[in-house]
């Protein structure tokens, strides 16, 4: 930085206070980003807390109570940074924050990997929505605007990767307004160095003294083998960097280049094009729906060579895909093509035919379940069909009310119904249904062993099975369940795994 040229002043006039000098500034820097760079200590400390929490809670740990705990810490860091920027509004932050906390709690209460994965993906999307709603006016945004905003958020965050490094270097050179900032930079540097170094040192000491190693393993549930400890140190460093840079750069990217709040009307295309291909599809769908009503629901006589069981117990996945395609088609046409009464009527007809397809797919799936039992995937399909039926009602409403925010309706429906689905533990529902429907047969036990998660163990633990898979079943209860409980540890404590261990007699 260059020294400022002193300006002349009148006799007796007090010297003007020096303007705060930003630690680092771009030529075209926005005012919000400039303010963030002038006073970065709060954001750096919040990012460091986020990185440390991510490393300490997730490094070499299972998935459990650490997920909601980290959600609380992460949200506290985000809210602290938003308040520092003067952007915190409770009505904008509370809905996505509540969704994240509920998804985190659901993750700690199930052992189903697919549910846990979808929960964490939902938490990432809600985090993006929280940041976007804090920096932008998202009240009129629809699907297209949100999708483009998500990508913009990611790329702007990546473009700000040098920002935290520049801030730290500027603090090291003496930037800042008080002597307290000098202590802050030393604390940040010490935190960044202590985490990987501490893991490596503890690994060396634990491998040198077995008593100390057992003490550490029991306290933290780390397997501190020498080579494993070094790898754990690198994993901890990576998680710290992910949390630190992720939070700081996401805030810096939005502060520098927030997504424009304005929404352009994309309905510019000639509706005749849409009317043509939607008319063809509508004709096909009408014939198909007539066949469904006649042969599937009313059970009229089938053509020669067909049996009702074989006819009904197939095709649900194809119908599910076509129903999803129809929903996307209606949304796309209403978004891209100009207003037309004929097009609106045809799209409404497509939605009505889609309801017939949803009913046909659900009926076929129920017939299949009655013969072959429930699995997680089959429950998920039935759940999705119910969600799709509700969403189609919102899509129809959006055709007649342009101000209807279909994106928010979709988010609310999907989030609320997914929370019901995840908290209900579908694997346990499947195990209970199969046990009551078929009894403790070889097929039911095999399904529990190889397709259902530990959520099903409390239902099946006392079934008194003694069949072909009896040896595998005893090993499952005596070795697999307690091993899972041990591997999750304290930080990854999972309520579903603990319930399975208690049902198997591993814990009191």
In the chain, domain spans: 31-256, 271-421, 426-503
- Listed as ranges, residues in the chain with pLDDT below 70 are 1-29, 172-230, 265-267, 300-313, 508
Whether the Cβ atoms of residue 242 and residue 164 lie closer than 8 Å to each other: no
Q: What angle do CA 364, 365, 370 make, to 5 degrees?
A: 100
Token duo for residue 255: 């502060």
Check residue 219 and give its pLDDT.
56
Q: Would you state the structure tokens that stand for residue 54, as one six-digit string?
A: 């991510």
Cα 462 to Cα 503: distance, rounded to the nearest angstrom: 8
Residues paired with 269 in a beta bridge: 337
Contact residues for 75 (Cβ-Cβ < 8 A; gap 6+) = 97, 100, 101
Residues in the chain: 508
DSSP readout, 221-279?
Answer: -----HHHHHHHHHHHHHHHHHHHHHHHHHHHHHHHSPPP--------B-HHHHHHHHH
Note the pTM of the prediction, 2 decimals. Answer: 0.81
Among candidate residues 189, 191, 194, 196, the one with its CA nearest the CA of residue 235: 196
Angle, in degrees to the nearest 10, between helices 406-423 and 143-159: 80
d(Cα 357, Cα 329) in Å, to the nearest integer? 15
Q: What are phi and psi of 269, to 5 degrees?
A: -80, 155
Residues 13-36 have pLDDT tens digits of: 445 544 444 444 444 457 888 878
Q: What is the pLDDT of residue 213?
A: 64
296-304: which pairs have CB atoms within 8 A and are 24 or more residues apart?
Answer: 296/360, 296/363, 296/364, 297/359, 297/360, 297/363
Tell me how far apart the alpha carbons of residues 128 and 138 are, in angstroms, rounded to a whole number.
12
Judge whether 59 and 242 are in contact, CB under 8 Å: no
Neighbour count for residue 3 (Cβ, 10 Å): 5
pLDDT digits (tens, 9 = 90+) for 458-479: 888 877 778 788 888 888 888 8
Between CA 439 and CA 161 the distance in angstroms is 58
Dihedral angle sign, alpha carbons of residues 325, 329, 331, 332: positive
State the alpha helices, DSSP H only, in 136-178.
143-159, 162-172
Phi and psi at residue 160, to the nearest 5°:
-100, 15
Compute the distance between CA of residue 124 and CA of residue 154 in angstroms, rounded to an integer: 12
- Is residue 233 within 8 Å of 132, Cβ to Cβ? no
Q: 17-27: buried (b, 16+ CB within 10 Å) or exposed (e) per residue?
A: eeeeebbbeee
Burial of 292 (0-12, 13-18, 19+ CB in 10 A): buried
Report d(CA 369, CA 382) in Å as an integer.
Answer: 11
Q: In this structure, are residues 459 and 428 in contact, taking their beta carbons and an 8 Å threshold?
A: yes
- Give, in degrees to the nearest 5, the angle at Cα 452 between 448 and 457: 65
Burial class of residue 193 in the structure, from the number of CB atoms within 10 Å of its CB (0-12 exposed, 13-18 middle, 19+ buried): exposed
* Residue 337 backbone dihedrals phi, psi, to 5 degrees: -105, 150
In the chain, what is the straight-line distance between the N-terminal and C-terminal CA atoms, in Å?
Answer: 67
The predicted structure's pLDDT at residue 352: 93
């Amino acid at each position: 930085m260059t020294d400022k040229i002193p300006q002349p002043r009148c006799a007796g006039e007090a010297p003007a206070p020096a303007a705060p000098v930003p630690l680092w500034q771009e030529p075209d820097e926005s005012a919000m980003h400039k303010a963030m760079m002038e006073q970065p200590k709060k954001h750096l400390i919040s990012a460091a807390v986020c990185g440390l929490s991510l490393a300490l809670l997730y490094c070499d740990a299972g998935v459990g109570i650490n997920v909601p705990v980290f959600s609380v810490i992460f949200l506290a860091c985000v809210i602290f940074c938003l308040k520092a920027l003067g952007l915190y509004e409770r009505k904008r932050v509370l809905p996505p924050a509540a969704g994240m906390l509920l998804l985190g709690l659901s993750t700690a209460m199930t052992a189903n990997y697919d549910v846990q994965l979808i929960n964490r993906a939902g938490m990432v999307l809600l985090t993006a929505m929280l940041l976007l709603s804090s920096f932008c006016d998202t009240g009129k945004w629809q699907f297209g605007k949100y999708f483009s905003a998500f990508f913009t958020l990611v790329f702007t965050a990546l473009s700000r990767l040098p920002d935290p490094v520049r801030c730290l270097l500027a603090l090291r050179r003496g930037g800042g307004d008080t002597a307290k900032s000098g202590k802050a930079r030393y604390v940040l540097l010490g935190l960044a160095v202590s985490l990987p170094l501490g893991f490596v040192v503890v690994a060396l000491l634990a491998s040198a003294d077995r008593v100390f190693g057992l003490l550490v393993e029991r306290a933290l549930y780390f397997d501190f083998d020498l080579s494993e400890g070094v790898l754990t140190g690198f994993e901890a460093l990576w998680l710290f960097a992910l949390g630190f840079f992720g939070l700081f750069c996401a805030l810096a990217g939005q502060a520098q280049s927030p997504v424009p709040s304005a929404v352009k009307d994309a309905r510019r295309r000639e509706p005749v094009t849409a009317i043509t291909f939607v008319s063809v599809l509508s004709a096909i769908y009408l014939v198909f729906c007539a066949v469904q009503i006649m042969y599937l629901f009313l059970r009229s006589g089938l053509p020669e060579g067909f049996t009702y069981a074989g006819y009904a117990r197939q095709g649900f996945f194809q119908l599910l895909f076509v129903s999803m395609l129809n929903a996307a088609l209606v949304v796309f046409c209403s978004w891209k093509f100009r207003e037309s009464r004929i097009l609106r009527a045809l799209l409404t007809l497509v939605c009505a035919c889609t309801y017939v397809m949803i009913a046909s797919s659900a009926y076929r799936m129920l017939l299949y379940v009655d013969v072959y039992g429930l699995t997680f995937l089959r429950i998920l399909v039935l759940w999705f069909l119910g969600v799709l039926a509700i969403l189609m009602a919102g899509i129809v409403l959006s055709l007649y009310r342009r101000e209807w925010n279909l994106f928010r309706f979709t988010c609310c429906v999907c989030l609320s119904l997914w929370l019901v689905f995840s908290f209900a533990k579908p694997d346990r529902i499947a195990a209970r249904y199969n046990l009551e429907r078929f009894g403790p047969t070889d097929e039911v036990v095999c399904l529990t062993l190889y397709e259902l998660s530990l959520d099903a163990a409390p239902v099946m633990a006392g079934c008194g099975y003694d069949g072909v898979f009896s040896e595998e079943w005893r090993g499952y209860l005596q070795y697999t369940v307690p091993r899972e409980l041990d591997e999750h540890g304290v930080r990854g404590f999972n309520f579903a795994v603990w319930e399975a261990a208690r049902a198997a007699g591993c814990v009191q």
